């Protein structure tokens, strides 16, 4: 079996709006190994969610369009599949969970109905068998009193319970890849901790690979094996999780990690990245981060650096490091 | 130190309907909360969603009228003042909201928005007001030439600066900051936190900082009160609370926060279950349904806030 | 860098114009309405003849227009039963119809905004009383109610305008009320309470300016129905009285001649009503899409 499950090469997803072209994802390359978790971290507008949606080809079109790149999943380019083939992969081999479970669950159906339907659709079981399966998976994700809860409607459940249901649905067909888009952002901290533990446990149990999208470096540290930091539609740094937190190289990653208040460290003043996230319609020339970067020099203003490998699986997109070589 | 704000047994119940038998259904959002804020102090009010922290902040400002209890501002009870009597206190206490999009009138230029509190309270002439607006805009990091622009032309972080500028316009002593950084991007959040800290020092502000994020609270506050289901369960100075949390809920809350350091991974105790509904809160100690250390007395008797040293207060049978 | 980003964003007006241009039917509607307004304003200059000469030039009665050899020079759309130039009467009629529409909708707006805002903002028993009255008024067909009011007030164009204005008030009040109810819950209104603003200030500075979008949309759509209802009242002889060149009245005085072949005297006022109503409706629908996608029904 190949070690790499998913490989994205030079993905470009642009949105063609009246005001101009929004380069939401502009040349992203990533890799996910089997059984591992890749975290994609970035601020709003960094393109992290669009990258995830592009994998499943769920970009609203128009205005969006994947204009270039390849996405190899188990050796097959997802961008070359026709609609019928990609539908077979969605939900069966790759599932997705979202930030707000309330809006992704249909309020007129019971939670059991939805899970049973997914199982029937992808596994060809009859209704009774599918119900058994659904009960089993709901029990695994920690829903108490499953026999009763399977017939409740989404609004009768709390936010944490709904997220568990979403996870149960996503895992009901034993996908090889789970994409989780800010799965804990809408939840309270104590519930967030429960869900993080649940996903970590399930990942081990089913040997599923996970792509975790978040803005929270704490969640990244808690769950991921590898991390990609995104800024303005591009990956600026990619590293193993310990490397990233101990010796991050890109000025943006460093700034980001210094700008969050921490429980385990006392600082008088937070370090700040000046300025704001750039407008994707009007990106600055050269490196998109240069106007906010304190190290910026001549070359940064004219030339966008390449993502290069500094050491084993530690990639950085910054002229500070291209120069040295 | 002198107390600027003191709240005694504050309650806010919302009527959400009547059962067919005519029994009132109440959400006891805030149910008997007492605390004080000293002058120039930043008090953090922390808790999970639905614990009543926001309601509490708004009730102190009389944006929501409390159901019961007393609110003292500078020694005077303001909980029963009429709208007119309240007016002279309004310019001394302001609020900053969470949502930088919803809290600014989309049809009003930011100059007018910031000047509005001064206009309402008839402070200064038109010209003086404009000068003050420009002065505050510079203080919060906006450009004076943006004065005639409208909210939709600004990013989230800048809008939050506008909200802060408006809150400062009348030179208030007390500001309630309601989750004012939680809707912002990480890099912008740090900018706003630093700005608030600077302004607090410069103007000697007293702040009630309402938030759910304990790391932010820890960074900015002097003292912290932890709320759970409409009650305060623990209140203590920052270092006491973070180094020696006494209430099992505070301990669980602290342990639940994901720390941005992969070496700390998995070292946590996880609280089971969900927050119960505030419509029918559990009897006795409200935390007993989730508490890992629960005893029989917890289910029967409600613990009150007690302290051994008059600084660190805890409402738990096991501690007191 | 911060500033650059800001300057890129367009102003509200620019955005509005751009979105209007994208919406073809709205643009078409706007063109019709603009033509109509220009006709109304410049009727004195555009009209080739006096719309109501006195004494009537009966020897010119029911002459066809430019399409026929029998037509009279200078009367391109023919003449009516009293020998008056149809084109001139149409142009002056635009003035009458439009102003009738505007006045009626204006009355409806003033009353509707007042009652709707009071009901929505204060709520409670005031709301209950106002909205029950509105419900009662909705129980009558609009035109029937207008006829009753005109009968009480007496005939004439100005009375017809008032009647239509009153009949449209409940609709406007409901629209405003729902819009006020929505805006009242916004945080920027809650801030006003924290600041200590008076109710008057909250209503006039914040709630009304933000509820104006649906007023414009429904005002435009209402203008169309007001013109139609005004014409209907004119047709029934309850609105504009002769010799006022009002489209509905023109239609009613001429339709009987269609049988004898003089179709033009009735057809052109009919087309004028049709096009102005169509134009206003297209514009109103377009504005709804542009100003407030939330209101899509």
A126: contact with C, CB 8 A cutoff:
no
C-alpha to C-alpha distance for A100 and A98, rounded to whole angstroms: 6
* Alpha-carbon gap: B110 to the closest alpha carbon of chain C (Å): 13
Q: Is the pLDDT of residue C297 over 50?
A: no
Which candidate from C5, C187, C206 shows the least CB-CB separation from B99? C187
Q: Is the pLDDT of residue B19 over 80?
A: no
Q: Which residue is listed with tokens 């991390």?
A: A227
Q: Is the pLDDT of residue B124 over 90?
A: no
Is B140 buried (19+), middle (13-18) or exposed (0-12) by CB count in 10 A? buried
**Residue C200: how many other CB atoms lie within 10 Å:** 8
Report phi then psi at B5, rounded to 5.
-125, 135
C-alpha to C-alpha distance for A109 and A165, rounded to whole angstroms: 13
Residues in chain A closer than 8 A to B158 (CB atoms): 276
Q: DSSP character for C293?
A: G
How far the first Cα of chain A sits from its last, in Å, is 36
Residue A261: per-residue pLDDT? 84
Report phi then psi at A22, rounded to 5.
-95, 115
C-alpha to C-alpha distance for C160 and C246, rounded to whole angstroms: 12
Contact A48, A230 (CB under 8 A): yes
> Which residues does C101 contact at the CB level (< 8 Å), separation at least 6?
C223, C224, C226, C227, C230
Q: How many whole angstroms from its chain centre is CA A160? A: 19
Q: How many whole angstroms from its chain centre is CA A56? A: 12
Q: Which helix (H) or strand (E) holds A305?
A: none
Contact A70, A10 (CB under 8 A): yes
C297: contact with A, CB 8 A cutoff:
no
Beta bridge partners of residue B36, listed in sequence order: B6
Contact (CB<8Å) A43/B219: no
Residues in chain B closer than 8 A to C3 (CB atoms): 143, 146
Residue B18: per-residue pLDDT? 74
C-alpha to C-alpha distance for A55 and A77, rounded to whole angstroms: 10
Residues in chain A: 325
B144-152 average pLDDT score: 87
Provide the pairing of β-strand A314-316 with A64-73.
unpaired
Contact (CB<8Å) A275/C2: yes
Q: Is the pLDDT of residue C60 over 80?
A: no
**Residue A155: how many other CB atoms lie within 10 Å:** 9
Beta bridge partners of residue A32, listed in sequence order: A6
Residues in chain C closer than 8 A to A278 (CB atoms): 1, 5
- The whole-number mean pLDDT for each consecutive block of 10 residues of chain A, a chain of 325 residues, reads 83 85 88 90 87 88 85 87 85 84 77 84 82 86 82 82 85 87 84 87 88 90 91 91 89 88 79 82 86 86 86 87 64
Q: Which residue is listed with tokens 């409706």?
A: C281
Q: Is the pLDDT of residue C64 over 80?
A: no
Mapping DSSP to helix (H, G, I), strand (E, B) and coil, where does residue A248 land?
Answer: coil
> Which residues does C97 contact at the CB level (< 8 Å), separation at least 6?
C227, C230, C231, C246, C247, C272, C273, C276
**In this structure, what is the dihedral angle of CA atoms B215, B217, B219, B220, given to the nearest 10 degrees?**
160
Q: What is the pLDDT of residues B294-320, one digit of tens each?
A: 888 888 888 888 888 888 999 998 886
Mapping DSSP to helix (H, G, I), strand (E, B) and coil, where does residue C208 land?
Answer: helix
Q: Is the pLDDT of residue B24 over 80?
A: no
Q: DSSP character for B74?
A: T
Q: What is the pLDDT of residues A161-201, one digit of tens each?
A: 888 888 888 888 888 899 999 888 878 888 888 888 888 88
Minimal-distance CA residue of chain B relative to C211: B107
Residue B111: per-residue pLDDT? 92
Is C289 buried (19+), middle (13-18) or exposed (0-12) by CB count in 10 A? middle
Residues in chain C closer than 8 A to B166 (CB atoms): 191
- Of A264-278, B1-15, C22-36, least confident by mean pLDDT is A264-278
Q: Which residue is listed with tokens 């190289």?
A: A249
* Alpha-carbon gap: A279 to the closest alpha carbon of chain C (Å): 7
* Alpha-carbon gap: A187 to the closest alpha carbon of chain B (Å): 9
Q: What is the pLDDT of residues C201-260, one digit of tens each?
A: 999 999 998 888 888 888 988 988 888 888 888 888 888 777 788 888 888 888 888 888
Beta bridge partners of residue B13, listed in sequence order: B28
Cis amide bond preceding C2, omega within 30: no
Contact (CB<8Å) B155/A276: yes
Q: What is the ipTM of this complex?
A: 0.83
Contact (CB<8Å) A189/B48: yes
Cα–Cα–Cα angle for C274, C279, C282, nearest 5°? Answer: 120
Which candidate from A18, A281, A284 shows the least CB-CB separation from C8? A281
Which candidate from C8, C18, C22 shows the least CB-CB separation from A279? C8
- Short-list C2, C7, B142, B99, CA closest to B133: B142
CATH for C2-291 is: 1.10.3720.10
Report phi then psi at A197, rounded to 5.
-65, -40
- Short-list B298, B211, B282, B281, CA closest to B247: B298
Is A302 buried (19+), middle (13-18) or exposed (0-12) by CB count in 10 A? exposed
Beta bridge partners of residue B210, listed in sequence order: B45, B178
Residues in chain B closer than 8 A to A242 (CB atoms): 262-263
* Alpha-carbon gap: C189 to the closest alpha carbon of chain A (Å): 26
Higher pLDDT, B171 or A63: B171
> Which residues does C173 contact at the CB level (< 8 Å), separation at least 6?
C111, C112, C113, C115, C116, C119, C130, C134
At C6, the pLDDT band (50, 70, 90 cuts) reads very low
Beta bridge partners of residue A97, listed in sequence order: A180
B116: contact with C, CB 8 A cutoff:
yes
Strand order in the sheet with B24-38: B24-38, B3-18, B68-73, B76-77
Which candidate from B58, B117, B150 shows the least CB-CB separation from C195? B117
Q: Is the pLDDT of residue C72 over 80?
A: no
CA atoms within 13 A on the CB side of C295: 22
Q: How far is CA A96 from CA A33, B33, B310, in A?
A: 17, 42, 51
Higher pLDDT, C251 or B46: B46
Residue A273: per-residue pLDDT? 86
Provide the pairing of β-strand B313-314 with B231-237.
antiparallel
Token pair in block for residue C49 = 């003849």
**In this structure, what is the dihedral angle of CA atoms B205, B210, B212, B218, given to the nearest 10 degrees?**
30
Residue B320: per-residue pLDDT? 67
Q: What is the pLDDT of residues C157-180, one digit of tens each?
A: 888 899 999 999 999 999 999 999
Residue A194: per-residue pLDDT? 85
Mapping DSSP to helix (H, G, I), strand (E, B) and coil, where does residue A43 land?
Answer: coil
Instruction: Find chains touching chain C: ≥3 CB pairs under 8 Å.
Output: A, B
Ordered by where they begin, the domains of chain B are 3-92+172-314 (3.40.50.300)
How far the first Cα of chain B sits from its last, in Å, is 27
Minimal-distance CA residue of chain B relative to A196: B258
Residues in chain C: 297
Q: Is the pLDDT of residue C3 over 50?
A: no
């Amino acid at each position: 079996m190949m070690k790499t499950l998913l490989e994205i090469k030079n993905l470009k997803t642009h949105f063609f709006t009246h005001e101009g072209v929004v380069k939401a994802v502009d040349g992203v390359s990533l890799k996910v190994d089997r059984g591992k978790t890749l975290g994609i971290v970035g601020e709003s507008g960094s393109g992290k969610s669009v990258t995830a949606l592009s994998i499943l080809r769920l970009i609203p079109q128009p205005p969006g369009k994947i204009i270039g790149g390849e996405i190899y999943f188990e050796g097959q380019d997802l961008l070359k599949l026709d609609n019928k083939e990609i539908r077979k992969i969605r939900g069966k081999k790759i599932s997705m969970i979202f930030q707000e479970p309330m809006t992704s669950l249909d309020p007129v159906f019971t939670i059991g109905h939805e899970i049973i339907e997914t199982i029937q659709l992808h596994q060809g079981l009859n209704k009774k068998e599918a119900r058994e399966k659904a009960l089993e998976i709901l029990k695994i994700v920690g829903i108490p009193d499953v026999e009763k809860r399977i017939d409740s409607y989404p609004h009768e459940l709390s936010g944490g319970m709904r997220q568990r249901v979403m996870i149960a649905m996503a895992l009901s067909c034993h996908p090889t890849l789970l994409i989780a888009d800010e799965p804990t952002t809408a939840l309270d901290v104590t519930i967030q901790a429960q869900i993080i533990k649940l996903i970590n446990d399930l990942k081990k149990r089913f040997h599923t690979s996970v792509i975790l999208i978040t803005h929270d470096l704490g969640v990244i540290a808690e769950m991921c094996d590898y991390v990609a930091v995104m800024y303005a539609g591009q990956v600026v740094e990619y590293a193993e999780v310990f490397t990233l937190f101990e010796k991050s190289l890109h000025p943006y990653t460093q700034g980001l990690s210094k700008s969050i208040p921490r429980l385990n460290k006392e600082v008088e003043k937070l370090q700040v990245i000046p300025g704001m996230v750039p407008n994707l319609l009007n990106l600055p020339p050269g490196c998109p981060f240069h106007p906010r970067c304190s190290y910026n020099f001549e070359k940064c203003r004219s030339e966008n650096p390449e993502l290069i490998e500094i050491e084993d699986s530690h990639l950085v997109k910054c002229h500070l490091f291209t120069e040295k070589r | 130190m002198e107390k600027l704000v003191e709240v005694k047994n504050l309650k806010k119940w919302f009527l959400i309907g009547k059962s067919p038998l005519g029994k009132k259904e109440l959400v006891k959002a805030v149910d008997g909360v007492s605390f004080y804020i000293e002058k120039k102090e930043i008090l953090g009010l922390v808790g999970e969603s639905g614990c009543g922290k926001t309601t509490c902040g708004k009730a102190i400002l009389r944006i929501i009228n409390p159901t019961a209890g007393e609110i003292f501002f500078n020694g005077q009870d303001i909980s029963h003042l009429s709208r007119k009597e309240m007016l002279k206190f309004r310019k001394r206490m302001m609020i900053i909201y969470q949502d930088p999009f919803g809290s600014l009138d989309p049809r009003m230029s930011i100059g007018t928005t910031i000047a509005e509190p001064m206009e309402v309270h008839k402070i200064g002439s038109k010209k003086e007001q404009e000068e003050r607006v420009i002065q505050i805009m510079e203080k919060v990091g906006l450009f004076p030439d943006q004065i005639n622009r409208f909210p939709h032309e600004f990013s989230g972080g800048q809008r939050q600066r506008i909200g802060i500028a408006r809150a400062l316009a009348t030179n208030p002593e007390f500001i309630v900051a309601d989750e004012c950084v939680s809707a912002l991007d990480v890099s912008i959040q740090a900018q706003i936190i630093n700005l608030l800290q600077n302004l607090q020092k410069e103007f000697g502000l007293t702040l009630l900082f309402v938030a759910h994020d304990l790391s932010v609270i820890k960074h900015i506050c002097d003292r912290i009160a932890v709320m759970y289901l409409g009650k305060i369960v623990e209140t203590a100075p920052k270092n006491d609370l973070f180094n020696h949390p006494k209430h099992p809920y505070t301990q669980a809350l602290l342990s639940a926060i994901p720390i941005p350091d992969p070496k700390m991974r998995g070292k946590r105790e996880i609280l089971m279950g969900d927050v119960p509904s505030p419509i029918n809160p559990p009897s006795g100690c409200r935390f007993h349904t989730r508490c890992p250390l629960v005893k029989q007395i917890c289910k029967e008797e409600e613990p009150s806030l007690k302290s051994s040293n008059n600084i660190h207060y805890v409402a738990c049978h096991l501690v007191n | 860098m911060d500033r650059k980003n800001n300057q890129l964003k367009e102003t509200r007006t620019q955005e509005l114009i751009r979105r209007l241009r994208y919406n073809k039917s709205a643009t078409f509607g706007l063109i019709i309405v603009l033509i109509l307004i220009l006709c109304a304003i410049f009727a004195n200059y555009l009209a080739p003849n006096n719309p109501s000469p006195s004494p009537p030039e009966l020897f010119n009665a029911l002459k066809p227009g430019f399409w026929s050899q029998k037509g009279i020079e200078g009367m391109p759309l023919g003449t009516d039963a009293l020998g008056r130039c149809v084109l001139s009467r149409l142009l002056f009629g635009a003035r009458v119809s439009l102003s009738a529409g505007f006045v009626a909708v204006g009355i409806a707006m003033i009353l509707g905004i007042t009652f709707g805002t009071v009901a929505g903002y204060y709520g409670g028993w005031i709301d209950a009383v106002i909205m029950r009255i509105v419900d009662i008024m909705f129980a009558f067909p609009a035109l029937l109610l207008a006829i009753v009011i005109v009968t009480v007030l007496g005939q004439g164009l100005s009375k017809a305008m008032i009647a239509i204005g009153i009949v449209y008030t409940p609709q406007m009040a409901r629209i405003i009320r729902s819009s006020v109810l929505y805006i009242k819950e916004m945080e920027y209104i809650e801030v006003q309470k924290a600041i200590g603003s008076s109710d008057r200030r909250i209503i006039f500075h914040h709630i009304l300016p933000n509820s104006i979008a649906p007023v414009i949309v429904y005002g435009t759509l209402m203008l169309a129905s007001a013109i139609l209802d005004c014409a209907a009242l004119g047709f029934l002889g309850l609105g504009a009285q002769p010799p006022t060149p009002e489209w509905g009245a023109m239609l009613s005085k001429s339709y009987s001649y269609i049988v004898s072949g003089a179709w033009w005297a009735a057809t052109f006022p009919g087309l004028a009503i049709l096009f102005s109503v169509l134009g206003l409706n297209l514009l109103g629908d377009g504005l709804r899409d542009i100003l407030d996608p939330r209101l899509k029904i």
